[in-house]
Structure formats: C-alpha cells, structure tokens
Structure 1
Amino acid sequence: MSNYLSKRPWLIAVAISLLLFIWLFSGSLFEAQETATPEQPAQKQGLAKVEIQWLEASPMQRQHLVQGQIEAWRRVELRAQINGTVARLDQDKGSVVEQGQLLLSLSADNRPAQVARGEADVRQRQADVTAATRLRERNLVSANELIRLQSELAKAKAELDMARIQLSNTRITAPFAGVYDQRMVELGDFVQPGQSLLTLVDISQLKVTAQVAQQDVSHLRLGQTVRVQLLDGGVMEGQVHFIAAAADSDSRSFRVEVRVDNPQALRLAGASATLQIQTGEALAHRLSPALLSLDQAGRHGVKWVNDQQLVEFTPVQLISVDNQGAWVSGLPHKVALITLGQGFVEPGQQVITQLAKEES
C-alpha cells in the first residue's frame, strides 16, 4: 500500500484537502447554531420590548373646564337716607332675617311732629275744599278760588308724604330675606345721607361667574345644566342663568353666570370653583394620565405601535380628567397603546410588543 501511495503522491494531497474542508464546514455550522436559535431570531436582536394594551374609542360627553368665582345671589349695601343718630341695633350680625324685618333704627328727632302737623294741615285743606265745592255749586265761590284751595290741598298732601318718608327712613328694614352680613356703624354714631350702614346677602341661591372663550361660548345655552366642582372636592349642579351678549373688550371672552341652589345656606360665596360644561358627545379613549407625554413642541400626546411594529406619537386633546382617568381625543379608533416602556422608545423606532397583563 505504501509503495502504491509513494508512486501516486497526488492522492495524498487530495485526501488532506478533503479532511481540511470537512473540518472547516463543521466549525461554521456549529457557530451558526450558536448565534441563531429559534427562541431569539437574528433579525430581532437589539430591539426594545414594550408592553401594549389595545384601546378602542367609545362615546362620551365632551366637557369644557373653566375657572369661576362663587358669589351670593344678591348682595345689597344699605345706606342712610337722612341725618340721624344710630338709636338701636335691632339685629346682630350673622342673623338670618326675613323680608321687611327691622335691622337698625335711627333717631326720629322731630319727624313724628312734622308728620302730625302735616296730617292736621291736610285735614284743614280738605275741609276748605269740601266747603268751597258746595259753595261753587250755588255760584257763591269763583272757579279760580276753588282751584286755589285744591292746589293747596295737593301741596299739603305732598308735604305729608315727604314727612312720612323721612320718618320711615329712620327704620332700616331688610329688602329681601337673607343674612345680616356686616355692620359699618355702632350705637350712637351720627350718620349722613349716603353713608353705609350694613350689608345684607341672599345665599339661598349662589351665582357662579366665569369668563368663557369666544370659541366655546357657542356651545352654551340658557338653562343648560353645569357641574360646579368645589375646592374641597364637593360637587353642586346649576343652570346657565346669563350669557353676555358681547365679549369683554380686553380678554375677548364672554361673562357667564350659573345659578346654583343652596338650600343648606352653605357659606361658599367668595370661593373659587371649576365649571364643568358639557359641550356635546365625542369619541374618545380613556387612559391613565401617567401615559401622557410631551413632544418637542410641548404638545400632550401618547405613544403607540402601528401595524409595522413602529412607535408613533400622536398629539391628543384632553377632554376631561377625574379620579378614574383621563378622556382624550385625536387617536385612531383602535390603537395599541404602549403602557410600559414608552419612556425608552422614540417615534419611528421598531420594537417588540407584548400584551400587558390584565389587572385582576
């Protein structure tokens, strides 16, 4: 055999080349098996993994939120109409009073005497006119004389009415039922016409005022129900009572008043509140506010994954927010929302998706 190979050296070279080829091929195959496994395909190495949740739009009531100010339904500052001294404080501050109830008394001075004199003068003038009328029927008094006496009677009645008004102005009464809120004078103070005496407020109803932007005022109508969110979390309901016919020249917004019943007489006047105004039905998605992010332009939006497994960012409009989540519009009807890992991916990036586990 050795003699045979020694005579044919080319056979030895062929055998060595064949052995070398088999060794190289087996090494390459082993390396390929190590770098590509069924569990981790080569084309997906290095891609970020995110969790997604499929959301579908549903109808909801669109809301417009605007900050407002709560005011008493009515508030009046009662002022003195005459000169006088504060003679009596008939009610205490904070008292609930009825319409017509006496609140404060000023000194009458000589006003009762003026009324008595006026009444006597009217009686005398009335007797003169009665007698002159009878005489005129018999042509014993001229027509001019009768007219003069009638004129004096009318003047006496006017003076009597003035004296009675002056006397009644010593009694400061409630023009409507409400709460005796403030008093600006004390017992014995001398007051003059126009001087403030006290304030009376009606809080059986409240008035919430707000300025609504010109692009939103068209959604409002008189009598429309509005939710009023208080600072302590409480909620009241009211109706649109007034919508300004013209916008404010500075802010270009319209004044709106909402009337709210307050049967418990809660002390809310002067506080702030948020008006939640329904502006029609819209299709929207409900999601956690934590999933909202900002793009480079500062717009609110969310990240989701399209059919090509690419990340997209879509700006959204925030319709309303409550304890359960946020309602947003602007997304496709059905969307694969990224619920975990959105902070580590950018729009246009290809990702691996995994359905989020549903909370039990």
Structure 2
Amino acid sequence: MLTFIRQRPWIIAVLLSLVLLVWLLSGPRHVALDSVEPDQPPVSELARVEVRWLQAQPMQRQLTVQGQIEAWRRVELRAQVSATVRRLDQDKGQQVAEGQLLLTLSEDERPAQLARSEADVRQRENDLTAAQRLLERKLISANELVRLESELAKARADLQTARLQLAHTRIHAPFAGVYDQRLVEPGDFVQPGQSLLTLVDTSRLKVSAQVAQQQVEPLQVGQPVTVELLDGRQLSGTLHFIAAAADPGSRSFRIEVAVDNPEGLRLAGASATLRIATGETLAHQLSPALLSLDAQGRQGVKWVNEAQRVEFTPIQLLSADHSGAWVSGLPERVALITVGQGFVEPGQQVEVHLTGAGN
C-alpha cells in the first residue's frame, strides 16, 4: 500500500482536499452582529447584586449635640473700696441665702465722713430755708437762692457717696447659692476691682452647646430636651435660649438648656449629650455599611430601579446608633442593594437577586 502511494503522490493532495471540504461544511453557524442589542449584554455578563425591599417608616427626628454643663449663675464679687479684710462672716462651701453677709471690710474713716456729710446737709437745708424767707421780703436776690439750692444738692450727693462707701465694706450675697471660693484672708489689703470670693447658684443648671447653622432652623425656645450624663443618667430640660447670630469663627449658634437640680448634684463643669426632638418624618433604617460616596463626594446609597439599572441617591443622615442609621431622601419604597454595591455604577444594568423584604 505504501509502495502504491509513493508511486502516486497526487493521491495525498486529493485526500487532504476532501477532508478540508467536509470540515467547512460541518462547521458552526455564526450569529449576525446586528441581532444583539448593544446596550443589552448577555445575561451571563451582567453584574450580580442582591437587593432588599425597604419601606420608609415614621421616625422622630432628633438633634444630638455635645454640651457643657454650667452653673445657672456664677458671680465673682469684687472690692469697691480700698480697705482691709476685717472678718470672714461665712466659710466657703456653705449654702447661703440672698442678702446674707459674707465678708466684712474695715470701715476706716468712712463713719466719720458719713457724719460730716449728714451735718453738712442739715446746715445747707437750714440756709436754704432762711434764704427763702428773705427772698419773700426781697432782702436777697433770686441768684443767691439758686446758689444755695445748688450747694444743698451737692451736699446731698456727697452724703449718698459716703453712705455707699460705708455700705461697700459689707459684702452680701446677691442671690442664694454656694459660697464656692474665697480669694482673700483676714488682714489682706484690697483695692477696688480686686476679687474677694465667688458665689455659684446650682439650684438650676445650664447646659450650653453649639449647633451647626444647617440644624438650628427647627429649634424653638421651650422645646423639651433630654440631657444624658457620661454615666448614662438622664435629666429633663427645656431649651430656653437660642443665639440670634452665629459665632463668626465656627458659624454655629449657641443654645442653652435649663435643667432643674433640686438635689444639688455636683455636675457643673462636666460634659453631657443633648438630644432634642425636632419633629416626625418618613425615613429608612439601614446599615451604615451600605452608605457610599459619589464622584462629587455626596453621601448616598445605591438601589435598583424597575429597569434593573443602578441608581444613586444622595441622602441626609438623620441619626445613627447600634441598631443602624436613619436616612431621608430615598423613594418611599426602594430596592436597596445589599450585596455588590461596591462593584456597580449608577446607570449600569445588573442581574438582581431578591434577598428579603422591608417592613
């Protein structure tokens, strides 16, 4: 056989041609390119995402800010005359009533000056009375009477000054509170303006905080506020002050919350968290892990529309805690992407798999 093929080499060429012809006739059919829509990739090439239907729920909007607890009133009493500290009438740390004597300064020559001023006023009053009788008889001029009236007015002013100088040697409590700090000792010489002691009113507390300009609009004086202390205790308060203008540096508004403190808790100077209810709204509760940023840096979430294409909607974060984040801005009912959101872009068609339903 091999000898026969060697003698007739054209037979090999004929056999190869027959084999090639059979292969061409039995090959696979090709699909026309125009039969596939350019914007509809085969299902096997679509990105797969898992979605869960989420229904908006009513929630109580709440503003949460960090605040500083302060005494309701705090005053630093200062000397108004030059004198020596004569006596400490109360000790620091004591609760004192309004008007109670706290500290006594030396009187020095002030009683004598008061007596001289009183005598001078009496003399001027007598001179004026006598001059009025003489004027009726036309024995003095009207100008002389005016001069005597002026001298009497000056004498009375000097008397009032002498009385004040003597009164300033006794330091009284301007309101009920705690004698919190003493800055002088008996025998110290003090000058006008020098600090003597501090008085603090803690029967009520004031919690101050700064609120961003975007969050101050719904706040109103009189709103109830929950004050949460660092140890978890909660106090009830009332919003009693909102600044009319923002701080030029931080562009935030100062607010103050009044909190009753009948037990006299020592909280002034501590920090606390303020929670202020600002009204009810519809919102969605979801995991913070589902939040993402778009190209403009806006915070939002990705979901799938009816055409199974990815949508990105910016949201407003209302609150967040251990149970999840509450957000607003989404459609009332939305197919939220729960798995695969990091691998798809807005406008992209996806293969959707439903994993659960929202409330």
TM-score, normalized by the shorter chain, greater than 0.5? yes
- Equivalent residues of 1:309, 1:353 under 8 A apart: no
1:104 aligned residue? 103
2:143 aligned residue? 144
2:249 aligned residue? 250
Q: Which moved more, 1:165-174 or 1:319-328?
A: 319-328
- Equivalent residue letter for 1:94: G
Q: Which moved more, 1:137-146 or 1:67-76?
A: 137-146
Cα distance in 2 for partners of 1:285, 1:189 equals 67
Secondary structure of the equivalent of 1:219? coil
Query: Given the superposition, is the C-alpha separation of residues 144 and 317 from structure 1 closer, same or farther in structure 2, using an over 3 Å criterion?
Result: closer
Q: Which moved more, 1:134-143 or 1:307-316?
A: 307-316
1:90 aligned residue? 89
- Equivalent residues of 1:311, 1:351 under 8 A apart: no
Alignment of 1:1-360 (within 5 A): 56-286=55-285, 317-321=316-320, 326-330=325-329, 333-334=332-333
Secondary structure of the equivalent of 2:217? helix
Cα distance in 2 for partners of 1:63, 1:109 equals 61
Q: Which moved more, 1:323-332 or 1:205-214?
A: 323-332
Cα distance in 2 for partners of 1:245, 1:238 equals 21
Could you tell me how far 1:138 is from its partner in structure 2? 2.6
Partner deviation per Cα, 1:129-157 (whole Å, 9 max, x = no partner): 22222233233343333333322222221
Could you tell me how far 1:196 is from its partner in structure 2? 0.8
- Equivalent residue letter for 1:272: S
- Equivalent residues of 2:54, 2:336 under 8 A apart: yes
Partner deviation per Cα, 1:269-289 (whole Å, 9 max, x = no partner): 222222223333221234677
Cα distance in 1 for partners of 2:234, 2:110 equals 53
Cα distance in 1 for partners of 2:49, 2:220 equals 50
- Equivalent residues of 1:65, 1:274 under 8 A apart: yes
Cα distance in 1 for partners of 2:113, 2:321 equals 68
Gaps of 5+ in 2: 1-42
Cα distance in 2 for partners of 1:116, 1:142 equals 32
Query: Given the superposition, is the C-alpha separation of residues 156 and 354 from structure 1 closer, same or farther in structure 2, using an over 3 Å criterion?
Result: closer
Secondary structure of the equivalent of 1:113? helix
Cα distance in 2 for partners of 1:332, 1:304 equals 10
Could you tell me how far 1:89 is from its partner in structure 2? 0.9
- Equivalent residues of 1:77, 1:196 under 8 A apart: yes
Could you tell me how far 1:309 is from its partner in structure 2? 10
- Equivalent residue letter for 1:139: K
Cα distance in 2 for partners of 1:188, 1:323 equals 60
Cα distance in 2 for partners of 1:292, 1:116 equals 84
Query: Given the superposition, is the C-alpha separation of residues 117 and 55 from structure 1 closer, same or farther in structure 2, using an over 3 Å criterion?
Result: same
- Equivalent residues of 1:311, 1:350 under 8 A apart: no
Partner deviation per Cα, 1:14-42 (whole Å, 9 max, x = no partner): xxxxxxxxxxxxxxxxxxxxxxxxxxxxx
Cα distance in 1 for partners of 2:340, 2:101 equals 69
Query: Given the superposition, is the C-alpha separation of residues 65 and 177 from structure 1 closer, same or farther in structure 2, using an over 3 Å criterion?
Result: same
- Equivalent residue letter for 1:242: F
- Equivalent residues of 2:49, 2:350 under 8 A apart: no
Query: Given the superposition, is the C-alpha separation of residues 288 and 133 from structure 1 closer, same or farther in structure 2, using an over 3 Å criterion?
Result: same
Query: Given the superposition, is the C-alpha separation of residues 224 and 150 from structure 1 closer, same or farther in structure 2, using an over 3 Å criterion?
Result: same
- Equivalent residue letter for 1:202: D
Cα distance in 2 for partners of 1:70, 1:322 equals 24
- Equivalent residues of 2:49, 2:337 under 8 A apart: no
TM-score norm. by structure 2 comes to 0.71
Partner deviation per Cα, 1:245-292 (whole Å, 9 max, x = no partner): 322222222222223333333222222222223333221234677x66
- Equivalent residue letter for 1:131: A
Q: Which moved more, 1:252-261 or 1:315-324?
A: 315-324
- Equivalent residues of 1:85, 1:189 under 8 A apart: yes
- Equivalent residue letter for 2:258: R
TM-score norm. by structure 1 comes to 0.70
Could you tell me how far 1:316 is from its partner in structure 2? 5.6
Could you tell me how far 1:176 is from its partner in structure 2? 1.7
RMSD over equivalenced CA pairs, Å: 3.6
| Sequence identity percentage | 68
Query: Given the superposition, is the C-alpha separation of residues 318 and 136 from structure 1 closer, same or farther in structure 2, using an over 3 Å criterion?
Result: same
Query: Given the superposition, is the C-alpha separation of residues 259 and 312 from structure 1 closer, same or farther in structure 2, using an over 3 Å criterion?
Result: same
Cα distance in 1 for partners of 2:151, 2:307 equals 103
Secondary structure of the equivalent of 1:175? coil
Secondary structure of the equivalent of 2:250? coil
Cα distance in 1 for partners of 2:312, 2:141 equals 102
Query: Given the superposition, is the C-alpha separation of residues 225 and 154 from structure 1 closer, same or farther in structure 2, using an over 3 Å criterion?
Result: same
Could you tell me how far 1:304 is from its partner in structure 2? 8.3
Could you tell me how far 1:328 is from its partner in structure 2? 3.6
Could you tell me how far 1:111 is from its partner in structure 2? 0.8
